[in-house]
Amino acid sequence: MSWRQTKDAPFYVGYLNAVPKPLLVFLSIFAVCFAGGMGLAALALSSTQNDPGSGGFQWGNRFEQAGLLELRPYPVFRVPADGTTPARTYMLSGQGKRGVFGPAKANKETPVNLRGVPVNRGDLTMIQVGKVEATEDGPTGFQPSDPVPLGRWKLSGEICDGKCYAGAMRPGRGLAHKACADLCLTGGIPPVFVSTGPVDGRTFFLMADKNGNLLGDEIKDLLALYIEVEGDVERLDDLMVFKADLATARILK
């Protein structure tokens, strides 16, 4: 007795080492349709997601400058004006999900040479610090300017960690990023308030409490949500600082 494949009943048998032509045509059409369907599904799904932004590490633009470290209340790096370039104030972070309170306190208000990698998104620049060294070649006689008060504001927006929002992680905002932001802020990375409306042309702000001190666990329930909160805004060179009165915070959605 023997078996013979017929045109009306194609059937694949492995040991015959051949795929019937009707099955081969069917599998080819199925494979093309499946790949195309998955591509369309991926396109439809991605089109519903928020734009993660253009931020990221500027690996090809290493940062190295002399200046002064201050706690405002998070570590910032003050750089004097140079020719037509005005003085700048940079927010700082450490490697991974850590801040730089240790080096900032050890070298507070003494000239240092700071090296690191900028993380940049629009006009928000944070320096991931690699090395801080005391230097005698620092800015001689540099006296950083005092903060300029810009009044009390009611702002709507979101509390993010400054490093991820600047592009270390994407998306660096929204509920998808809530757990990561919680870890980053716990590790000492400065929180930023990303506002939907500008103050003096800027839409992100280094956050402090209403008295200008460090924020604590009270912001965790407000992270990654669209909120409204009042507070005083001040300008520190090119950096805006928002002293948020969290007692006025209201979740909008």
Among residues of the chain, what percentage have pLDDT more than 90?
A: 68
Region 178-207: what's the mean pLDDT? 94
| pLDDT surpassing 60 at residue 5 | no
Q: Residues 121-174: pLDDT tens digits?
A: 988 999 999 999 988 877 777 889 999 999 999 999 999 999 999 998 888 888
The rounded mean pLDDT for the chain is: 90
Q: Pick the more confident residue, 68 or 52.
A: 68
Note the pLDDT of residue 4: 60
* pLDDT value at residue 1: 53
pLDDT given at position 57: 92
pTM, entire model: 0.81
Q: How far is CA 96 from CA 129, 169, 184, in A?
A: 11, 11, 8
Residue 170 is predicted with a pLDDT of 82
b/e map 101-130, b = 16+ CB within 10 Å: bebbeebeeebbbbebbbbbbeebbbbbbe
Instruction: Report which residue type is found at 42.
Output: A
Distance separating alpha carbons of residues 3 and 6, to the nearest angstrom: 9
> pLDDT class for 38, splitting at 50, 70, 90?
very high
Q: Is the model's pLDDT at 183 over the cut of 80?
A: yes
Which range among 20-24, 59-63, 132-136, 154-158 has the greatest average pLDDT? 154-158
Least confidently predicted of 23-27, 79-83, 88-92, 120-124: 23-27
pLDDT tens string 98-114 = 999 999 999 987 899 99
Residue 180 has pLDDT above 80, yes or no: yes
Inter-CA distances, 95 with 51, 87, 116, 223, 232, Å = 26, 25, 10, 22, 31
pLDDT for res 9: 64
8 Å CB contact between 66 and 131: no
